[in-house]
């Protein structure tokens, strides 16, 4: 160890804070000019944290499941009655769906419909709630050599969750549709009108820019639109809810506050991510 004189050491100690502050300021400027470093660092950090949270999440999930079970015991009879009714209703819907499916394939055959894309997907666990004050994202744990790539679409059991923006060697980061940077072109299911879904950091993204005369109706289903080539058409996103005249929000179908398992689907939609773009994440966010 180098022996330094006490006054010199004191001077050095007094200097650390301003020097580090200047360094931090420099980092902000560098980060603003060039996102490569930040992305590299955050991907490495995610790779370290993902396996860690993977281990921790097992007992956490178990505890949560136990809690739900205990809570469920209290309302067993009521729940049973509700489920029976729901089951009956679903059976009716199943019959309708099967009839429609048959009709659909018949019509497709008549039209010589050739859009039979086969999408590949991987199911991965969400291990960390990697959001920030001004960012809504989650971290998923992937195995090594997973086929996940930036730009792929993420769904949960209910509907659209977001898209992959960053991939490390054992983790990937998903930008949720509620993030400030998220823009999703959508179609209103009933009127077939187009609109834009804008993330606002809150639990419910805003629905905006619909055409005149095509105002979304309260409760109307909203699905993704293939416009701009960013998403495949027809993925369920949510339903419309008005908070004021002309101000529509979307209640997401996906359970975004409690994501546990998500499906990362490769629809081959890469129009928005030209190969020469060094950092798809920025593009994916801003579109």
**Residues near another protein (CB under 8 A):** 6, 16-17, 20-21, 23-28, 30-32, 37-38, 41-42, 45, 49, 53, 56-57, 60, 126-135, 137-138, 180, 200-201, 203, 257-260
Quote the least distance from Cβ 42 to another protein, whole Å.
Answer: 5
Q: Which is nearer to another protein, 211 or 255 (CB)?
A: 255
* Residue 193 beta carbon to another protein: minimum distance, rounded to whole angstroms: 27
Give the integer Cα–Cα distance in Å for 204 and 210.
Answer: 17
Give the C-alpha separation, 104 to 84, whole Å.
Answer: 29
> 264 is written with which tokens?
């990362």
CB of 282 to another protein, least distance (A): 12
- Nearest approach, Cβ of residue 83 and another protein (Å): 24
In angstroms, rounded to a whole number, what is the distance separating the alpha carbons of residues 111 and 103?
12
Residue 198 and residue 180: Cα distance in Å, rounded?
7
CB closer to another protein out of 64 and 81: 64
* Separation of alpha carbons 235 and 39, rounded Å: 29
Minimum CB distance to another protein smaller for 19 or for 83: 19
Q: List the beta strands (DSSP E) in 136-205.
A: 137-141, 153-155, 160-167, 171-176, 183-188, 194-198
Return the number of the residue (136 or 159) whose C-beta is nearest another protein. 136
Report the C-alpha gap between 108 and 185 in whole angstroms.
Answer: 26
Distance of closest approach, residue 260 Cβ to another protein, in angstroms: 8
Comparing CB distances to another protein, the nearer of 169 and 200 is: 200
Within 10 angstroms of residue 215's Cβ, the number of other Cβ atoms is 17
Q: How far is the CB of 155 from another protein (least distance, A)?
A: 18
Residue 26 or 268: the one with the smaller Cβ distance to another protein is: 26
Q: Quick one: DSSP state of residue 227?
A: G
């Amino acid at each position: 160890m180098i022996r330094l004189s006490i006054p010199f050491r004191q001077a050095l100690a007094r200097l650390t804070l301003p020097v580090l502050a200047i360094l931090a300021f420099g980092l902000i400027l560098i980060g603003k000019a060039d996102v490569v470093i930040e992305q590299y660092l955050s991907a490495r950090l995610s790779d370290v944290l993902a396996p860690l949270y993977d281990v921790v999440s097992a007992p956490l999930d178990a505890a949560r499941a136990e809690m739900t079970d205990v809570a469920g015991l209290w309302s067993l009879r009521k729940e049973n009655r509700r489920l029976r009714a729901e089951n009956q209703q679903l059976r009716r819907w199943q019959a309708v769906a099967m009839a429609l499916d048959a009709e659909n394939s018949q019509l497709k055959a008549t039209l010589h419909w050739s859009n039979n894309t086969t999408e590949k997907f991987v199911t991965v666990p969400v291990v960390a709630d990697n959001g920030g004050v001004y960012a809504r994202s989650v971290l998923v744990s992937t195995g090594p050599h997973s086929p996940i790539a930036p730009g792929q679409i993420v769904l949960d059991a209910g509907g659209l969750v977001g898209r992959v923006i960053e991939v490390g060697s054992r983790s990937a980061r998903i930008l949720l549709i509620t993030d400030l940077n998220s823009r999703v072109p959508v179609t209103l299911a009933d009127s077939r009108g187009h609109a834009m879904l804008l993330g606002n950091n809150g639990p419910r993204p805003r629905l905006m820019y619909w055409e005149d005369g095509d105002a979304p109706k309260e409760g109307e289903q909203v699905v993704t639109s293939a416009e701009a080539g960013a998403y495949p058409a027809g993925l369920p996103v949510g339903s419309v809810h008005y908070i004021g005249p002309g101000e529509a929000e979307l209640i997401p179908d996906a359970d975004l506050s409690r994501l546990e398992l998500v499906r990362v689907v490769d629809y081959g939609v890469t129009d928005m991510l030209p190969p020469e773009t060094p950092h798809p994440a920025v593009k994916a966010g801003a579109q």
